[in-house]
Structure 1
Amino acid sequence: MIRNIIDKIHNLQSNNQFSGTAFVKNEDQVLVDVSYGYANRAEQIKNQTDTRFGIASGCKLFTSIAICQLVEEGKISFDSTLRDSLNVKFPHFDETITIHQLLTHTSGIPDYFDEEVMDDFEELWINNPMYHIRCLKDFLPLFQNKNMKSSVGERFHYNNAGYILLGLIIEQASGLAFTDYVQKNIFKVAGMKDSGYFAFDSLPKKVALGYIDNADGTWKTNIYSLPVKGGSDGGAFVTVTDMSRFWEALINYRLINKALTIQLLTDHTQVKEDSFYGYGVWIKKYGNLISKYHIMGYDPGVSFHSAYYPDSSFKLVVCSNKSEGAFAIMNGIEEELSKITSDKTTI
């Protein structure tokens, strides 16, 4: 069984030149742990299990958990309004926007990078130099004075700015910088000893550089394509083993209590026929059966997918330091895993 999964990954990698690490664990057994490509092409340093990869929007779930922790402490509630939770003025925003709506992408606020109208994240930094974006408040001028995109609660609209606001709420409620809060209350608690929010101009060891490949065969790194340091909407660096530890901590209620974990993993809004969104997490369902909880992230030079399958307890992590490739690897692994489960709809 394991041999079939690895063979599938090898075949996919040879077709798309996947660069990164794929990891699958079931309870205490590691089923897959394979790496391809280079963390640093110029120095020919290979990707490995302990390589730290950027995960882009994959870390919106960390932000949602931080919010839930503050709810558990009684410092905020899901019904708290943006106006009452954050001492920042938004002249054109609806005053009834709640934390729940920010978590579920249903607030209706404008985004600083609107994926419905923009294709290339790099375009954002032409007039807003990325080296000025080092903390959450640096994002505010990109959307603070814009008009609402839609009415509050009208529809799901994937929204990075909403998660920037959640990060600012976390900072105000906790008294800590967002990245320090996550490091202390999520990464440390979950045993994610190699994960963090690292600045591009002061990266630690074993970090994979993100690569953007051009059609003519040339390439560049993504250091001028993203903010200098990630925050509450994305940009943490993790290892595949740390992400597996994260899922274990979440489902065993070590990060938030059982009631709040259930609320976090509840399908609060429907996105497509079988796709739903909880708090910072995507949920795939077949009828009333939950197939998987999953997170994903895409940036220039970054592609990432990770999932937990509740019926089988598999934990899957695919990290790549290229702009695409993780999705195909994840699909291939899921195809092989489905062959060994009793219910083919659970993968």
Structure 2
Amino acid sequence: MKKGILRMRLISVSILIIWGAFVAFKPEPKTIGDLMESYEDPGLKIKIRSPFSGTVLVAKKGEIIFEEAYGESDRVNKTPITIDTKFGIGSITKQFTAMLIMQLVEENTIKLQDTIGTYLPYLPKEKANHITIHQLLSHTSGLSHYNSLQDIGVSLNDFGNTKYSPKALAEVIGRTYLVNKPGTTYYYSSFGYDLLGAILEEVSGKTFSELLNASIIKPLGLKNTGFGTNEYNSINLAKGYSYREVYGWDWWTSEHGGKTIEVPFRDQSTAYAAGGMHSTVKDLFIWSEAVKSNTLLSPELTTIMLTPNMKGHCYGWVRNWDDIIEKNTKVRLYGHGGALSGNSAFIALYDDETTIIYLSNRSNLKAEEILHQIHLRANNLTDEYKLKGYPNRSSYKRFKESGGMSALQDYFNTLSEYSGYKVNPSNSTMRGVMKIHLEAGEIEVADSLKTVFFNSYNPDERTLNEFGYDFLNSDTPKYALEFFKENTIKFPNSSNAWDSLGEAYLTYKSYQEALECYKNAVSLGEEVAHRSLKNYKENLKKVQDKLKG
């Protein structure tokens, strides 16, 4: 290496070390304002995944104690965000959709136990005759989320760029496969709320936007809330951006240690009643106060709307989000977040009468950290009630030294008690614990974890595929086979699941088994004109050539 280049690298490393030390020794932010400023300009490392750009409102006992705006609504034109800037609110939309449904229940126009075929008779019978309004509201319908679209040959990109009528969208959802028997298990599904939107339009004779205006927006006097068209949103809403951290030489040309890009377009008709609304923090504060004071709905039906079902999910709200409870076991709250097309949002109503609302034009913010830190400062609390006892998972030795499986089980049993519903270790935790036991030769323990994961976690197709490929590329590649097999058992109509199992068999040189899997992938792919059909056929030919050779 030339001396000049070496000298420059040494200087660069030295500057990074000095700057990192400077950031590390900055005093802890004491106020909400200090905290948000630290999130807006985070230096080298940040705790919330992206520099904050957006608006924040905090209230105590119905009185606003903090509201501020940060960043730019349009980075090209350098337009500053103001407290009245409108943002897409993503899945916070579900709260409004749930309220509209409950208002119709109060009018006795619909019933929570009605099956959806009562209002959408054109849907397939397996859905129309068995899924209820309650199940759609509580995410227990068995419907999938967006990741199931590929199984019917629809790419997420094509879906997001297509304009659908409510009926056409419902028909697409009707073609997707159920992931569970309706009413048996919780599974978060935006498709369920899209069907609620279609039902609202069918019953009321109004569009979702018209009904929203008549039943919620006008009665509350909201000035900056609604369900806008594509054209309206492009002009009037903050543009959405995504951020990713960068390292090494890329850091020198980065902003805040990362790269920020504008997100691609998504048609409003696909976000619809599950995530297509916009609002401001001030309007959402008015909304939250109306929910608490039964302004739009009777106390009896408000209680039903806010009653936790499986996994703490109410209708459009979540009771005691475990990621928040884990950070402060003393708090209790109702809340819901939203993330859509470069936007992140959250509304949290704490039992101690603290309200925290933020809207941002950055994707993938770490909501639990933002809410926790704001709540501490809004109430002059110290960070002393974090749940303790989580075992170290960096290696098998350290895991055992910190209590092992017993400690892990105790930790999540305690968290479940605080949250009010069963909380399991995350998918990544389960995968990591399996790996360290496999590496230590503790096959029986890894197998028992795998069985628990299959039976209790209700993993979707994407998760099983991710686990499979992760193990396929690890030091224990043969362990991947069970995950790929489970995927084809649970999702037998998925051409992608069969293709992945075929790839695993091909890796193990089990060519005959790979052949059968690829045949299934091609056959299923042809039924739905799958966008990856060409690849499936190429993989099939590859195995056929192997068997011939």
> Per-residue deviation at 1:153?
1.4
2: CA distance, partners of 1:319 / 1:263: 27
Higher helix share goes to which structure? Answer: 2
Q: Distance in 2 between matches of 1:25 and 1:204?
A: 30
* CA–CA separation in structure 2 for the residues paired with 1:204 and 1:17: 23
The amino acid of 1:130's aligned partner reads: N
Please tell me the root mean square deviation across aligned C-alpha atoms, in Å. 3.0
Q: 1:65 matched to which residue of 2?
A: 99
- Letter aligned with residue 181 of structure 1: L
Distance 2:131 2:62 in 1: 43
Is 1:160 the equivalent of 2:190? yes
1:319 to 349, 353, 359: 359
Identify if the C-alpha distance between structure 1 residues 296 and 106 changes in structure 2 by more than 3 Å, giving closer, same or farther.
Answer: same
Mapped to 2, the partners of 1:161 and 1:280 lie a distance apart of 13
Q: Over residues 148-174 of structure 1, what are the superposed CA-to-partner deviations in whole Å (9 max), with x where a residue is unaligned?
A: 221111110000111111111111111
Relative to structure 1, the CA distance from residue 304 to residue 226 in structure 2 (aligned partners, 3 Å threshold; closer, same or farther) is farther
**Structure 2 residue aligned with 1:130:** 161
Aligned pair 1:277/2:313, yes or no? yes
Structure 2 counterpart of 1:108, one-letter code? G
> Per the alignment, do residues 254 and 261 of structure 1 end up closer, same or farther by CA in structure 2, a change over 3 Å counting?
same
Aligned to 2:74: 40
Query: Partner residue of 1:239?
Result: 280
Q: 1:83 to 1:60 in 2, by over 3 A?
A: same
Q: Distance in 2 between matches of 1:80 and 1:289?
A: 38
1:148 aligns with 2:178: yes
Q: Which of 174, 181, 191 is 2:204 aligned to?
A: 174
Supply the distance in 2 between the matched residues of 1:62 and 1:195 (Cα, whole angstroms): 11
Distance 1:190 1:233, change over 3 A: same
Contact 1:19 1:325 (8 Å CA) reproduced: no
Q: Which amino acid aligns with 1:11?
A: S
SS at structure 1 position matched to 2:315: coil
CA distance in structure 1 between the partners assigned to 2:64 and 2:282 by the alignment: 10
State the 1:22 CA deviation: 0.8
Contact kept, 8 Å, 1:113 with 1:160, in 2: the verdict is: no
Which of residues 2, 6, 10 is equivalent to 2:37?
10
Amino acid at match of 1:137: K
Deviation at 1:26? 2.0
- CA displacement, residues 38-57 of structure 1 (integer Å, 9 cap, x when unaligned): 01111111111100011111
Contact 2:142/2:180 (8 A) holds in 1: yes
Partner of 2:231: 201
Q: Name which structure has the greater RCO, CA cutoff 8 Å, separation 6+.
A: 1
C-alpha contact (below 8 Å) 2:116/2:129 kept by paired residues: yes
Aligned to 1:257: 298
CA apart distance, 1:5: 1.9
Cα distance per residue 1:113-155 (max 9 Å; x no partner): 459x99xxx95123x352424x423423432123322111111
Which residue does the alignment assign to 2:460? none
Cα distance in 1, alignment partners of residues 138 and 337 from structure 2: 15
Change (3 A) 1:147 1:92: farther
User: Cα deviation per residue 1:48-75 (whole Å; 9 max; x = unaligned)?
Assistant: 1100011111110101100000000010
Structure 2 partner of 1:293: 334
Q: In terms of Rg, which structure is larger?
A: 2
Q: CA deviation at 1:239?
A: 0.4
* Alignment check: 8 A CA contact 1:304 1:326 kept: no
Q: 1:30 aligns with which of 43, 64, 82?
A: 64
Offset, 1:28: 4.6
Task: Kindly state the Cα deviation for residue 103 of structure 1 after the two structures are TM-superposed.
Answer: 0.5
**Displacement after TM superposition at 1:203 (Å):** 3.2
Q: What's the CA shift for 1:321?
A: 0.4
Is the 1:167–1:231 Cα contact (8 Å) retained in structure 2? Answer: yes
Relative distance call for 1:85 and 1:290 in structure 2 (3 A) is farther
**Which amino acid in structure 2 is aligned with residue 279 of structure 1?**
Y
Q: How does 1:301-316 map to 2 (within 5 A)?
A: 301-310=342-351, 312-316=352-356
Contact 2:330 2:385 in 1 (8 A): no
Residue 104 (1) aligns with residue 131 (2): no
Q: Secondary structure at the match of 1:203?
A: helix
> Structure 1 316/141 Cα, relative in aligned 2: closer, same or farther at 3 Å?
same
Runs of 5+ unmatched residues, structure 1: none
| Superposition map of 1:205-244 within 5 A | 206-213=236-243, 219-227=260-268, 230-244=271-285
User: 1:337 and 1:294, CA in 2 relative to 1: closer, same or farther beyond 3 A?
Assistant: same
- Percent identical pairs in the alignment equals 27
Distance apart, 1:209 and its partner CA: 1.0
Secondary structure of 2:371's match? helix
Structure 1 or 2: more strand by fraction: 1
CA positional deviation for 1:231: 1.8
Deviation at 1:206, TM superposition (A): 4.7
Aligned-pair CA distance for 1:282: 0.7
1:181-213, CA deviations, whole angstroms, 9 ceiling, x for partnerless residues?
A: 112111222222111112232338652111134
Range with bigger deviation, 14-23 or 250-259: 14-23
Q: Which amino acid is the alignment partner of residue 159 of structure 1?
A: S
